Amino acid sequence: MSRSAPYGFLAPAMVLFTATLALPILYSLYLSLRGVQVQGLGLGPGARQEVWVGLSNYRQSLSDPAFVHSVVRVVGYGVLLVPTMLGLALLFALLLDSRRSRGGGFARTAIFLPYAVPAVIASLLWGFLYLPDVSPVTDVLHGLGLPAPQLLSSRLVLFAVANIALWGGVGFNMVVLYTSLRAIPTELYEAARLDGAGEVSIAVRIKVPIVLPSLVMTLIFSLIATVQVFAEPTTLRPLTNNISTTWTPLMAVYRDAFTRDDIYSASATSVVIAAVTLVFSFGVLRAVGRRAFAER
Amino acid sequence: MGSNGGTGPTVATVTNSAKGYLVRRSTRLCLAVLLTALTLLAAGCGGGSADGPVKLTFWTWAPNMDKVVAVWNEKHPDIQVTVNKQDGGDPAVTKLLTAVKAGKGAPDIMQAEYQKIPTLVSAGALADISKDVPTSATGQFGTAELRAVDLGSKALYAVPQDTGPLAFFYRADVFQRLGIAVPTTWQQYAAAARQIHQADPTMYLGTFSANDAGWFAGLAQQAGASWWATKGQTWSVDIDSAATRKVADFWGGLVQEGVIDNKPMYTPAWNAALNDGKQVGWVSAVWAPGVLEGNAAKTKGLWQMAPLPQWGSTFTDGAWGGSATGVTTQSQHPEQAAQFATWLNTDPAALKALVSDAGIYPAAKSAQLTTPPAFFSNQSDFYEVAAKGRDAISPFTYGPNVNAAYNAYNDAFGQAADAKTQSAFGQALTQMQSTTLSNLKSSGFTTSQ
Amino acid sequence: MSAATSGARTVRTRDSRPSVLATALLMLGAVYCLVPVAWVLVAATKSGADLFSTFTFAPGTHLFANIADLSAYRGGLFWRWMLNTVLYAGVGAALSTLVSAMAGFGLAKYEFLGKSTFFNLILAGVLVPGVILAIPQYLLVARVGMADTYWSVLLPSIISPYGIYLARIYATASVPDELVEAARADGASEARLFVLVALPIMRSGLVTVFLFQFVGIWNNFMLPYIMLGSDRLFPVTVGLNGLLNQGATQPALYTLVITGALLSILPLVALFLLLQRFWQVDLAAGAVKA
């Protein structure tokens, strides 16, 4: 075996990783320390000059109240979404794995189906279902003599956005968990079953602890996705007064970069978000992960 | 995990023949897709010859612009223009600014809304084409439009294309049924709004849309506001002025009373309300018939257009929308591009095609407009009303950070509209002013105030 | 695929009678997931005028008229978008699977300097949001003159941290070291070994990598949105978004967008149904073994 062989296998990945991920990240770091100086009214040619500004972009982004609000909001969104999504995904996976449920094939496909719908299109569809004036929910509730809920009102809009992510994400996580459930050797709980243990107690006492590592991985991936929530609120924004253009941290980045044409502040904010995500997910992996993986 | 032969990805061998078949089949499918794709890619990479005609690209979002351009291409075999349809004014500007930063990728010719021109000029995106556009062409435009493309200097950054004078659109059948006269002042507008909402609590004369900063800017313009100003080498922001405050208070009052809706325009809900007669009026601009036709086809023949209600005795108007054709600094053929931009917006054949195919209300006063838009075929004086507005548009200066200001409008007035109080509208205006000013400063501009 | 059909689990006890509650819960989940899809199916059958004025779940008769309108839109541009999407997702996912398989195999079966550093770097790549990367990626791609080409979307789609991660798991778990050694003893080169021995064994897992990457690229919006200027290169997500956001002076083309949304989901639904059994991801297996 030649010593260069592993590098040969890794070369394409390394080259592409460097070109499409590492370089852009380094470039972002560079941009985050830069800024623009304008000469005069800034209307003549060459009136703009890029200059070093040190850490002032970081200071500005971290002290922007809109950004701070968006961080707080996303924490609330995560607390709402992640346990619900993973709880339902685990429930459905256990039900699919249980021998007492019927129609599993149909349910599995149906629940996984939303994964095929791009977030932009999913949000458009749900947007129609949320607006009382065009929603079938309104028609049904009016038929029952009930008032239609204002799902995009300031009180409920967080739930409305989380619901879209839930809808799109339950299926994927269910499949991940179901895959690990299927890999459990049946002997492990056949004995318990013969002892008269019910499906529920087998699920809680035997199955869940075994799939815990998978659950931790889905948790980490869900947390990363939570920090990056962007497409759903951006698509819903034009429908309501209650989603601002800096509703989530990534929306704030988008506003700076694309609306305000300030890639320098946007880069600084991005670096902060990426760093926090990194620390956060490695922290979770250490805290929860070690225990979960050690049990095996 | 993988200690048994479950169906997880840890499967070591593929024993199931059906599964193996599927895999083989999908491998073959992948290969087929790959081959087709490579052929497509190769086809897409073909370059043109060096000595052929001058090739220009044109970013525009106006519908059917390719048909208008076809007229040019037929007459000018040596200058061929290709249309790249854009998603709309904002995305097109975003892309152009990114391309300018990258130093590559910009088109030759660019449709730009008037309010975006200072932003584009300050980013070095638009070229000065004053020496390539004859004065016989610029003479066809009004002072408000010219001011927007020369930015008060001797340069010329674009050729005006269309203009969007504001007007009041209303359901004539509903007004007649309720015996309401068409409002000519804002006081009468408010009275009509009350009367309509009283007659039917689900019905509104209009809505205050926190999504449409351009709409609010047009209303402020009519009231005499001008949101930016220059003095020597410094910029100032004057959003929170008496004129704008008058407009904000007016709409805030109506929203607080509940006689004007507070939901944004251009939503499915708004479309439904236009269709089923819950929105019976719309303060909009001359291009409104196209939108109404697309969103509320069932109400054809029921709408009328009237001049915008007034604050005082002198007739003034504001604009919403309206754009110009510029030449980018990355163009290798600025002269030919300017020639095309001039032709597009002043040549009689081009203007005719712009009106009939692209549904545009041209800025050139030479444009012949007689037949009203199809959706308003019942209103023979449509273009007279439009021209009255166009000729009364008040001067207005846009600054280099319009996007930041409009964005601040979305956020601040979104909150105010949700709060439904007049005082919240006032606070929103204050907030919009301070956000815009501090953004201008932090963008590196010299500001006074 | 229900649990009952699995050959490995035929042991039956008295406690396998159907449970109404379990089945009902699953069906509730299925209904929740299907309602918006059903809505788009119904909405696509309505004319533009009916879309906003009739009961939401009352089907119309305009499905084929809507499809015809969409097909006629600017000379069949929609179908070009669909073709582009297939190209981006198909070619991107195929290349991505190959690159991931090579890297995964290299990481699983060799010891070399910088192995763990490289693997950790790749994993950290998951943490950087696409929105953040879009601008620097564009600026770099434009600098080498590739902005607004197929490559500008394809190249960044090839590298997939998830794919490399999964491929490493598959290679570790499914390619026996003895087999590798035996092939080497027979004088096979490392490249031959990979192509003729490892790839066939990893095949089923690699189909999963391909599928996930395919869906990932299919659903990606930000990258093509930033990279592409000419609408003839758009994928369907960016194209439909454009129809929806026409700016204030144009009506949004809701009927076309809804019909387009339906048509764009169909190929993926077909892919799901056809390749059901490959949708399996064991995220944690590798974490234990690595």
Q: Say whether pLDDT at A46 is over 70.
A: yes
Whether C140 and chain A come into contact, CB under 8 Å, resolves to yes
Band of residue B38 on the pLDDT scale cut at 50, 70, 90:
low
Q: Calculate helix-pair angle for C254-274, A119-130, nearest 10 degrees.
A: 120
User: Stretch B271-298: mean pLDDT, rounded?
Assistant: 93
Q: What is the DSSP letter of B209?
A: -
Going by their DSSP bridges, the two strands B54-60 and B109-113 should be labelled as parallel
> What pLDDT does residue B128 have?
96
User: Stretch A126-131: mean pLDDT, rounded?
Assistant: 91
Considering CB atoms only, which of A13, A116, A128 is closest to C164?
A13
Which structure tokens are listed for B204? 């509104």
Q: Say whether pLDDT at C9 is over 50.
A: no
Residues of B in contact with C285 (CB under 8 A): 1-2, 8-10
Band of residue A4 on the pLDDT scale cut at 50, 70, 90:
confident
Q: Distance between CA C216 and CA A115 in Å, rounded?
A: 10
User: Stretch B280-303: mean pLDDT, rounded?
Assistant: 93
Band of residue B49 on the pLDDT scale cut at 50, 70, 90:
very low
Sign of the Cα pseudo-torsion (C271, C273, C274, C275, in order): positive
CA distances from B86 to A148, B166, B354, C270 (A): 38, 24, 17, 32
C149 touches B44 (CB < 8 A)? yes
Per residue in C212-262, pLDDT tens?
899 889 988 888 988 887 888 999 999 998 888 777 778 888 889 999 999
Per residue in A197-226, pLDDT tens?
888 888 888 899 988 888 988 898 898 889
Cα-Cα-Cα-Cα dihedral of C174, C179, C184, C188, to 10°? -70
The ipTM value here is 0.89
Burial call A228-266: b when 16+ CB within 10 Å, e when fewer: bbbbbbbbbbbbbbbbbbbbbbbbbbbbbbbbbbbbbbb
Q: What is the DSSP letter of B326?
A: E
From the list C80, C101, C84, the residue with the least C-alpha distance to C217 is C84
Cα-Cα-Cα-Cα dihedral of A204, A205, A207, A209, to 10°? 100
Close Cβ partners of A255 (under 8 Å, ≥ 6 residues apart): A245, A246, B407
User: Stretch C179-198: mean pLDDT, rounded?
Assistant: 91
Q: Say whether pLDDT at B115 is over 50.
A: yes
Contact B264 A238 (CB under 8 A): yes
Domains and CATH numbers, chain B: 54-164+321-374 (3.40.190.10), 166-319+391-442 (3.40.190.10)
CA distance C282 to chain B (A): 6
> What pLDDT does residue A280 have?
78
Domains and CATH numbers, chain A: 54-294 (1.10.3720.10)
Contact C247 B90 (CB under 8 A): yes
Radius of gyration of chain C (CA): 23
> What pLDDT does residue A193 have?
82
**Nearest-Cα residue of chain B relative to residue C49:** B297
Q: E strands, A14-109, where?
A: 34-38, 48-52
Which structure tokens are listed for A138? 């309104």
Q: Distance between CA C230 and CA C213 in Å, rounded?
A: 25
User: Stretch A155-173: mean pLDDT, rounded?
Assistant: 95
Contact C29 A278 (CB under 8 A): no
Hey, where are the domains in chain C? 71-289
How high does pLDDT run on average in chain B?
88
Whether B139 and chain C come into contact, CB under 8 Å, resolves to no
Q: Say whether pLDDT at B138 is over 90.
A: yes
- Substitution target from C228, C249, C274, C282 for chain B, most B beta carbons within 10 A: C249
CATH code: domain C71-289 is 1.10.3720.10
pTM for this structure?
0.88
Q: E strands, B172-265, where?
A: 228-231, 234-237
* Amino acid letter, B99: A
Close Cβ partners of A99 (under 8 Å, ≥ 6 residues apart): A199, C3, C4, C9, C12, C15, C16
List the chains bordering chain C where 3 or more Cβ pairs fall under 8 Å: A, B
Q: Say whether pLDDT at C1 is over 80.
A: no
Band of residue C147 on the pLDDT scale cut at 50, 70, 90:
confident
Q: E strands, A40-135, where?
A: 48-52
- Residue B82 bridge partners (DSSP): B57
Write the DSSP assignment of B144-162 as a string of letters: HHHHHHHTTSS---EEEEE
C107 touches C193 (CB < 8 A)? no
How high does pLDDT run on average in chain A?
88
| B248 phi and psi angles, rounded to 5 deg | -60, -45
